[in-house]
Amino acid sequence: MQHSIFLVDDTPYCAWGWELQKTNLEFLDHIDPTYFEYQANTHFAKIDGENKAQAATALRTSYHHGLESFFALICAALQAPDCVVGWFEKYQVYQIRKLVSIIASGSDPISNKLGLGQVSWEGLSSRINKFAYPDDGKVRETQQLFGKLWKRLAREFLEEVNTKEYNHIKHGARVKPGGFFLRCGEEHEEGVALSNEEMTSLGGSKFGTYFFIADRVKDAPRKKEADPHFRLIGHGVNWDPESLVHALCLIALSIQNVISFLKIINGVSSKEVRFLRPEDSDYFEQPWKRSVGVTSMSMDFYPVEEQHITRYDARQLREQSKINTSKK
């Protein structure tokens, strides 16, 4: 009987099995990094077609999915390389975000099985890509390039508006496709709009999403407990489809390399696994070369302030909800 004791963030677990290592390797074989490349290429091929709005949204969804999948895998490699399958069965998304946030900030130590004192993206890449190439110079460059890539992707993954966008897309596709353009200028006459030519462009994109998010009432008192009163505001997010394609390809390569590293830890010879990277080092910059300028903006045209609302307490809210329900 085999067992593996590991943490998911700071919650302990123990997985048992007669052939735990074999199960772990079988699980790793089931992970298909090329899935994200397929998604990128399939949806981008339709970006100028009749269903371009749906294709763009699907591409954005794949990007969010790829980020979550990669960071789940790398956190599992950090805390449970001998039982990745068990770690995946027990984690919650908020735990991944917490671990990624700690790594990004370097604020606290993370209990791990890789022997890393202070966990960083550079340190993780150095360990994971250690067997990437026989040439030491190529290995060091690969380690640095992936470390920088993962640091950038972590910022995207932790951006709160990106989290909200992903939730809106995957839970019922409740977003309006399309981005926005932002221009500014000083009026010559009050109330008379300037022409586009007279205004300064701050950037924009025809691709993006628009959705509603719950936000606190303006000037609401700060409380420790969650405030049941909130307002709804529109939020727009801009992005570039081609940049997403490049990012997804790099995510796919990252996943492949983490899988290869994990297989080595679980007894597979380094000669039997593959470590991949773009031959051109400049390709690591491709996801960030095409700027859309302003990437997100809240559109709160009619602010709801504390003075505008009646602040009901929890008991009153429950009573009112019962009254409203009974009337139907």
| Distance in angstroms (rounded) separating the CA atoms of residues 127 and 123 | 6
| Distance in angstroms (rounded) separating the CA atoms of residues 220 and 304 | 10
- What pLDDT score was predicted for residue 219? 83
Residue with tokens 């399939």: 42
| Distance in angstroms (rounded) separating the CA atoms of residues 21 and 26 | 9
pLDDT in tens, 229-242: 999 888 888 889 99
pLDDT band at 223; cut points 50, 70, 90:
confident
The rounded percent of the chain whose pLDDT value lies above 90 is 59
pLDDT band at 205; cut points 50, 70, 90:
confident
Of the candidate ranges 24-38, 98-112, 200-214, the one whose mean pLDDT is the lowest:
200-214
- Structural domain boundaries of the chain? 2-327
pLDDT in tens, 3-61: 999 999 999 999 998 999 999 999 999 999 999 999 999 999 999 989 999 999 999 99
pLDDT above 90: residue 143: yes
pLDDT band at 211; cut points 50, 70, 90:
confident
- What is the DSSP track for 278-312? -SSGGGGGGGGTS--B--EEEE-SS--BGGGS---
